Structure 1
Amino acid sequence: MKDVLEELAAAHRELGRGDLPAGEAYTVVLRRRYDAEIEDVWDAVTSAERLSRWFLPVSGDLRLGGRYQLQGNAGGEILQCEPPRLLRVSWLFGPDARDGTSEVRVRLTPGPAGDTEFELVHAAVVDEVFFGTYGPGATGVGWDLGLFSLAVHLAGGELGDPSGFESSPEAREASRRSAAAWGEAHLAAGGDPAQVAAAVEATTKFYVPDQG
């Protein structure tokens, strides 16, 4: 099993701003390298069978212009698909979610030694009160854990039941460190230190609830 804390440290995180059809958005950016060929990484993030092994079961019309649904999670439209380098999808929750409020983009670049540079950008139009409470960690912590699962999968391993892993001591500590790391990214983007500290605490409590 790969070490979750080492994998967490392998990622670079940024907070920025961007534009979506629904308005100005916050963006969380994760960049890291995987020891796998670009075609293998592309297949892992686009194949329904493989997505179910490291992320979530997915259904729908998995081609450009088609709609997808992740089990118990987001759904949307496949907006761009340029194998094996670029995938962009809308990322929406619930039957009343408005188009254009949230998008995820994955960009892959082949590395010099048969490896792959991986970039994920999640842009979302977010209520300012919600962002002020939780900051970028509300989205970023979940992606950190997801990209760890992808690392395990690409190395030939499996995490098993995701709910069991998420409640494990390793995942709880990773969530704490991820929330802190997103706090650092928030500070680097000009966040108010007091607000950032409060957001890190709130995000940590959400992802790592007391086990009473």
Structure 2
Amino acid sequence: MRDLMQELTAVRRTVADGEVPAGEARVVTLARTYAADPADVWDALTDPARIARWFLPVSGDLRLGGRYQFEGNAGGVVRECDEPRRLLVTWEMGPAGPEDSSLVEVSLTPDGDGTRLVLEHRAQVPAEMWDQFGPGAVGVGWDGALLGLALHLAGDQMTGSPDEIASDPAVKEFNRESAQLWGAAHQAAGADPALVAANVGATTQFYVPAD
């Protein structure tokens, strides 16, 4: 198994304000390079059989304009698809609103012998949720997704049920450190340190509940 902490440090995280068609939004961005060519990374991101091996089982129509659903997680619509460079989808955790209020965009560019991946999640977040958790609410989850993709592209993967994986000490430490790194990114974006500390605590408790 690859060093999970090393995988965390491979990612650059930023937090900003932005917009979606529905209006003002929060933006979290993750960027890292994988030791695989763009065609392979694109295939891992778009082939349902491969997606299930590093993220979650997915159903639906993964073509432009199609609707997809991840098992027990988000669903949405494929808004833009420019193989093998750019993918834009809506990211809906509940019923879709009248306008796109949550969008995930993934961009791929060659980087030496590898591929630079940039994932940007722009979403309208309820004020009470942002005040409690900050960017870590979604950021820790995306860190886990990029970790899963890294393991898959390297021919590795975590084994066991979701509960068994979540209880693994290395995964717990990964999630704790991810929450801290999202706090650092939030503070770098101008957030109050006291608020950041409270956000990190709440996010850590959510992803790594006390025994």
Aligned amino acid, residue 151 of structure 1: A
SS in 2 for 1:36: coil
Distance (Å, rounded) in 2 between the aligned partners of 1:158 and 1:195: 35
Partner of 2:19: 19
Aligned amino acid, residue 5 of structure 1: M
Name the TM-score, length of structure 1 as normaliser: 0.96
- The offset of 1:97, in angstroms, is 3.0
Alignment RMSD:
0.9
Whether 1:116 aligns to 2:115 is yes
Partner of 1:159: 158
Partner of 1:35: 35
C-alpha spacing 1:15/1:107, structure 2 compared with 1 (3 Å): same
Distance (Å, rounded) in 1 between the aligned partners of 2:84 and 2:158: 25
Which sections of structure 2, spanning at least 5 residues, go unmatched?
A: none
Distance (Å, rounded) in 2 between the aligned partners of 1:80 and 1:44: 17
Partner of 1:49: 49
Greater mean alpha carbon deviation, residues 50-59 or residues 16-25: 16-25
Partner of 1:60: 60
SS in 2 for 1:190: coil
Deviations 1:84-127 (A, max 9, x none): 01000000022x23141111000000112x20001000111011
- The offset of 1:162, in angstroms, is 5.3
Aligned amino acid, residue 140 of structure 2: V
Distance (Å, rounded) in 2 between the aligned partners of 1:187 and 1:167: 29
Distance (Å, rounded) in 1 between the aligned partners of 2:15 and 2:194: 17
Partner of 1:132: 131
SS in 2 for 1:97: coil
Percentage of matched positions with identical amino acids: 52
Which sections of structure 1, spanning at least 5 residues, go unmatched?
A: none
Distance (Å, rounded) in 1 between the aligned partners of 2:158 and 2:124: 32
Whether 1:90 aligns to 2:98 is no
Distance (Å, rounded) in 2 between the aligned partners of 1:210 and 1:6: 25
Aligned amino acid, residue 142 of structure 2: W
Task: Point out 4+ residue stretches in structure 1 off by more than 4 angstroms.
Answer: none
- The offset of 1:160, in angstroms, is 2.3
